[in-house]
Structure 1
């Protein structure tokens, strides 16, 4: 940033030292610095044929710097938005029971909440999974099928060989809640890697 005393001295008549700006005089800060009103400055900047434009190069550098800074700040904000990881689903076990009529099998009932913007990773269950939506809207999909958007009261099924490729909250503003009932082998994890 240029020294204001130095800038003001550039505009002083020859042989006379410029006085420090006096902001209580009713002059604008720009006028107090270089003795020029904004209208005079605008007409001077428009008339580029005049050789007495001591501030034109500096003004262009400042404008360039401010424009560059604005672009960098915008990039940082956008990069910051991309860097924010989507919230994870909140899973609560409601019930887990073995099934005497089905040896080696159990039922696992889960309550799942997708916070706004939540996204699940690709996975599989090695089970029959039945989904019932309670609140909000979710998007579900398995490999080889089109994704579907589910609302309260809608259901979805995943088979033991399905790869769950899409599971997310359809809203970035509202949470979504659903119940999952899994019919699976006793002792096997509820969620397995997709590969």
Structure 2
């Protein structure tokens, strides 16, 4: 597996691959960086090259991850990285490029899109839908039938009650309690969560 991004986030993904006994791990980064433990950090091959394996993008920033995915969209096969200690229902789906950390639980009929991050000990209940490039931070909880739009980041320890719709490219603050729908491009914080600003695009 190729890991694109030699960062702290990348360290977690590297250990996910090790947890699945992947013995052919390559670490790529555009910047010159020191080795990641015993793994040398290499410059990426340019798009259009023959790629030496599947890729996961080990970058935590959603917008950056999307740019990298688009850069390599037609030249690489994206894999998934799912920790051996994660539970994913056999009736849930996880799309290409997504990473799932240790202690995660994803329950039945949930659909997780492309290039998402479901971080350590997050809980995603039944019938949830995560669009592409979503990041669910450590210990966040989504109750049943929650929909999260593209590129949205749910902060550490946030809780979302059942049936909520959160728009695209939103930020939900750490520890927030989301009890009402959140519109696109919003930042919401607090208990209960309130929108404090909205991006104009």
TM-score (norm 2): 0.19
Bigger proportion of residues as helix: 1
